A and B are shown apart, each in its own frame.
Chain A
Amino acid sequence: MANKSNGLETSDWARAPPPNRPFCERALKAIYDPDDNTFLGRTPKRWGIVFAFYGVFYAVLALMFAVCMAGLFSVLDDRKPTFILDSSLIGANPGVASRPRYVVFDAQNSTNFDAYINELQEFLQPYTKETWYMSKMKCTKDDNYGFPDSPCVFVKLNKIYSWMPEFFSATELPADMPEDLQEYIKVVSESERQKIWISCWDENKNTNETQIEYPWGRGLPGRFYPYLNQDGYLSPLLAVQITPPINTVVMIRCRAWAKNIIYNKSLKEPSGYVRLVMNIVDTTAVNSTDV
């Protein structure tokens, strides 16, 4: 037995539990252990290996990703989408958009609607060099785009690569086209009919308080189409001047008319029109009526 207890002190198979140390010391030791020369459990050499491994691994991963992306870009055309019209998800039915997207302001507070004016000015900035734009008299910066009494809204068609509109001829106008527009089309000359017509109306058709005017005419000229990502291409615009009743929420719907613009009046899957909210608040007007 005696030699056995002697063996206890020398042999390495008799392990002693690690001595208990206060928490701070243990924490410090976890960060740097002078005994094994380890930082956070690893020697500098081990850390080097770890970093080198992950460096190389992520580098290779990034490289592979980059190679793939390069491969992708090599098959892409800078000017022309891979898929156009129906083969693309964008389809061949351009959406209609408006600027501003909604018009809600306090007529008494000029800073309130100045934001709209600024937005429109910025939006129309590229157009100022266009001759057709310069000829317009109404709905320009000079009349503050009709603000605040009868603001102008600019309606445009979404650009779709190589999309060509199919124009209506005077004889085959659809039945649901508003009569005023039909009359307008029948009056204009043949060359003037090569247009995408726009018609706007108040969704609440019972009230005739909303006045809608088309100071720039009723159609977007067909000469702008097709869009082929030309340099300096600008979408045609149409100004619509709306004079809504004050202190009332008005929903304006503007529809674009061409044979290949499909109209779906559903709100969930809208197509062929744009909708905008208009609410001009005038506190003085309220007070005056009250009194």
Chain B
Amino acid sequence: SPFLNATFTDDLYSLLGTDPVKGLSSDRANELLDYYGPNTLTPTTQYLWPRLLFKSLCTGFSILIWLGAILCLAAYLIELSTKPDPCTDNLYLGCVLIAVDVICGLFSFFQNYKSSKIMKTFNNLIPTYAKCTRDGVLSTDTEVHNLVKGDLVNVEIGDVIPADIRIIESKGFKVDNSSLTGECVAVARSNTEGTPNILESPNVAFSSALCVEGWAKGLQPTVTASLTLTAKRMVAKKCLVKNLEAIEALGACTTICSDKTGTLTENKMCVVHIWMSDKTYSVLDDNFESTLRNDQGFASLKICGALCSNASVSSDGVMRGDASEKAILSFLIKFDDPVAIRKRYPKIAEIPFNSVNKYQVSVHLEVSSSKYIIVMKGAPECIVSKCSTLIHNNSTINMSAKIKEAANTAIENLANTGERILAFADCILNPKEFPLDYKFDTEDVNFPLKNLRFLGVIGLKDPPREEVRYAIERVREAGVRVMMITGDHPATARAVAHEVGIGTAPNFHVVTGTELRNMTPDLLYLTLEKHYEIVFARTSPTQKLQIVEACQRQGGVVAVTGDGVNDAPALRRADIGISMGITGSQVSKQTADIILMDDNFATIVTGIEEGRKIFDNLKKSVCYILISNVPEIIPVLMFILFSIPLPLGVMTILCVDLGTDMWPAVSLSYEQAEQDVMARPPRSSDPLVSACMLRLVYGHLGLIEFAAGMFAYFIVMAEHGFYPSDLFGIRDKWDNVAVSDVEDSLGQEWTYAERKELERACQAAYFVAVVITQMMNGIICKTRYNSLLHVGMKNNVLKMGLLVELMLACVVCYVPGVNTFFRTYPLRLRW
């Protein structure tokens, strides 16, 4: 690109034909849009439906069927042109094959169409607009795909870069290229000299790279709302599978690398503990409210908390603000009305929180008593050092060293459980010293910030989701290893891991990002082998990727959950990428194979169960279908090698394959999961069609079926006078139309028509024998590990399928034209 290296922006403007202030004219923009096309990536999934249809009609196996059908029709046409009375078998066969192909194709087409439609609605949910200057007007609703070369684009914090842009003006502009390059550090981008390598060029920001500096946590509420609506519509599934193979892979999954925030926890801070004077109270206790109802200290704490919290409550009860501020407020709202408190204590002055002071202070006026009150909130060690008294049993006492120590231990204990600790203190100012007209100065502080009254400490925590513990238990039972990878503090990570059951041993291994950085890949590998329960804390996205790769090196099938943009590389690298539907970023959702609509870890368990079930059932179906191959192929071999009349005709083979076998095979996939499906270790190298299964299918079940079929065939033949010994080698005469007197074992002579009718009867017998043994096999295939009595016959679809199979067989046998002859043959001999 010549404009890449244009240092002077003037050159750039002339190159692109744009005005530095006004931007492009909308006419010119439309012209360019026509010329270059919309600003979109080449769509990968959005095929037009006819193409999709064509694709689903002509893939893999169906091509074979098409070929077969064409061959049949060609054979029929040749026969038609050469023979006076062509055999219509080939025509029928061709038509049947085409019908089968079309039906199968349509089926898969609708499946594809539906899922792509869901994805489309998903994409449309997040309207992508860019701020773009045209005709000198900055409009915020230019659709991204309408951007053209030469448009002036404004990008702010949190925006997805709408197109590949050349930066003209910037202020502390940094982008996250992780989804492109996998590097996790935000890269500074500005209007500087370009480099020949466009990827490294610092003056270009790429489309879909994210502007991360100050990246707002959580998406816009509108998006969340609309997503939640979609989630509601798809609540039945709760887990959108973008990549259908993923669910099957999930069944084989051996390791889950889970994110903490949002997946294991609710990503919602809330107050869990309060320490006041000398006691720790658990908010979750039932009698928490009653014990503290008349406590003076708690009342002061409430007032202090309400005044210190920066979160605001709108009239309809929606809170806005930082997560922990919101947590404080929502805790207080249970006991008092913070809005009313704030009205009673209007704010006079405030020193906001900063990382140097580690506290925030504000001065309020108590309207009822006309006294000023100073409230302070901040890091506990900082607050404790500023206090000289504390409130204890409704009275204010001096803070002794002993009490201070007690406070510090309590704080430490709370911190060790992974809670975020905030301490509160207040000071009622003497009205004589600070009269009503006193001017508080926050720059040059003219009010006391020492010798305050210590009120208490609250512990905030992102509580683990309720279902997660049970879910992890089940996952671990299923032999799947769960690891936690989080960017959080090790103590928090450890606490959460312990709570949700990722770490059950008292001293499970916690690896921090710094330790990880010093590890060689081999050492990481060994660590993973050595410690079953392992938690990674303070990790960067690159390290997440490293961990995933190490797990894969162990031969595991790794599922990774993640919601952020920075998780995208790991999600892509993982065998199964799982993204969060609600909190997940667009990029992570695009990368993921599965989207958990409810952001719930427990859904993964269902996914694993579902995946294993699907695999099991697929195996059952495949097994079932393969069995009937044996009694279909061997008769033809017998026909060729031993020259016996054909025991199973082409049409009957089709009947078995596409008619009677269809429903039961499909219904096997409705089979419920076997009870122990979650108690088995994940399958390691278990392909869909294993050698073991083939042995069982071809060596055992298939042969039994064949024997049964042949027996039925021999019965019909023998009872009509053709004894088995005379059947071998009879084919030449049997299939010759000119021979109208084939002698059987008892001297009777058969005309061609009579012989063929007998052959049909035999084929029908063979067919029924195969169908009945197939029904038995259907029941055998029902279970892979459990006994049938254990499982029972609960699958109604299968029951229906077996019934339909029998009915179809009857129809095939009894409906005139197919075969008029089939009476109650002594089948009792065998069954």
Contact = CB atoms under 8 A, between A and B. Distances in A.
B789 interface: no
Contact of B746 (A64, A65, A80, A274): A80
A160 B747 CA distance: 8
Contacts of A57: 699-700
Contact of A64 (B523, B707, B740): B707
Q: Which of B703, B723, B751, B758 neighbours the largest number of chain A CB atoms within 10 Å of its CB?
A: B751
B704 interface: yes
A76 interface: yes
A89 interface: yes
Interface in B677-734: 699-700, 703-704, 707, 710-711, 714-715, 718-721, 723-724
Nearest to A80: B746
B757 to A, nearest CB: 5
B829 interface: yes
A42 interface: no
Interface residues of B, number: 41
A95 B754 contact: yes
A79 B85 contact: no
Contacts, number: 110
Contacts of B244: none
Contacts of B445: none
Given A61-B707, A89-B720, A89-B821, A158 B749 contact: yes
Contacts of A68: 711, 829-830
Interface stretch (A96-104, A110-118, A125-133, A281-289): A96-104
Given A81-B720, A158-B749, A101 B754 contact: no
Interface in B729-767: 738-741, 743-744, 746-751, 753-754, 757-758, 761
State the majority secondary structure of interface residues on A: loop
A91 interface: yes
A177 interface: no
Contacts of B757: 89
Contact of A160 (B529, B749, B758): B749
Nearest to A82: B719
B80 interface: no
B720 A229 contact: no
B506 interface: no
Interface in A16-40: none
Interface string B296-316: 000000000000000000000
A95 B526 contact: no
A4 B525 CA distance: 12
Nearest to A276: B738
Given A158-B750, A159-B747, A159-B749, A88 B529 contact: no
B777 to A, nearest CB: 15
A40 B108 CA distance: 42
B826 interface: yes
A83 B715 contact: no
A81 B753 contact: no
Contacts of A95: 740-741, 749-751, 754
Contacts of B749: 94-95, 97, 158-160
B748 A158 contact: yes
Contacts of B714: 69, 72
Contacts of B85: 267-268
Contacts of B523: 1, 4
Interface string A42-65: 000000000000100110010011
A156 interface: yes
Nearest to A161: B748
Given A64-B707, A82-B720, A101 B738 contact: yes
A159 B526 CA distance: 86
A275 B372 CA distance: 127
Nearest to A157: B749
B718 A159 contact: no
A95 B822 CA distance: 23
Given A4-B523, A81-B720, A75 B740 contact: no
Contact of B753 (A71, A227, A270): A270
Contacts of B747: 159, 161, 227, 229, 233
A188 interface: no
A71 B715 CA distance: 10
A234 to B, nearest CB: 10
A61 B702 CA distance: 12
A90 interface: yes
Given A69-B714, A69-B724, A158-B741, A61 B703 contact: yes
B738 A102 contact: yes
A8 B718 CA distance: 72
B597 to A, nearest CB: 39
A54 B754 CA distance: 41
A2 interface: no
A42 B204 CA distance: 62
Interface in A113-155: none
Interface in A203-235: 227, 229, 233
A156 B754 CA distance: 17
Nearest to A264: B753
A64 B700 CA distance: 14
B529 A13 contact: yes
Given A101-B738, A229-B746, A89 B754 contact: yes
Nearest to B737: A270
Interface string B514-546: 000000000100100110000000000000000
A159 B738 contact: no
B751 A158 contact: yes
A190 interface: no
Contacts of A54: 699
Contacts of A97: 740-741, 749, 751
A159 B747 CA distance: 7
Interface in B231-264: none
Interface string B493-530: 00000000000000000000000000000010010011
Contacts of B746: 79-81, 161, 229
Given A8-B526, A233-B747, A65 B711 contact: yes
A50 to B, nearest CB: 10
Contacts of A73: 718
Given A72-B829, A269-B753, A158 B526 contact: no
A175 interface: no
Contacts of B530: 13
B700 A90 contact: no
Contacts of A291: none
Given A75-B826, A80-B746, A156-B741, A90 B720 contact: yes
Contacts of B741: 95, 97, 156, 158
A227 B749 CA distance: 11
A83 B753 contact: no
A161 to B, nearest CB: 6
A14 B554 CA distance: 10
A43 B753 CA distance: 57
Contacts of A182: none
A13 B528 CA distance: 11
A260 interface: no
A76 B718 contact: yes
Contacts of B754: 89-91, 95
B704 A61 contact: yes
B556 to A, nearest CB: 14
20 contacts: A4-B523, A13-B529, A57-B700, A61-B704, A69-B714, A71-B829, A72-B711, A72-B718, A72-B829, A76-B718, A79-B746, A80-B746, A83-B720, A88-B720, A89-B720, A89-B754, A90-B750, A227-B747, A270-B751, A271-B753
Given A65-B710, A68-B829, A80-B746, 6 more contacts: A69-B724, A72-B711, A90-B758, A95-B749, A101-B738, A233-B747
Interface of B: 85, 523, 526, 529-530, 699-700, 703-704, 707, 710-711, 714-715, 718-721, 723-724, 738-741, 743-744, 746-751, 753-754, 757-758, 761, 821, 826, 829-830
List the 6 closest pairs (A to B, CB-CB), nearest first: A95-B751, A158-B749, A97-B741, A82-B719, A81-B721, A89-B758
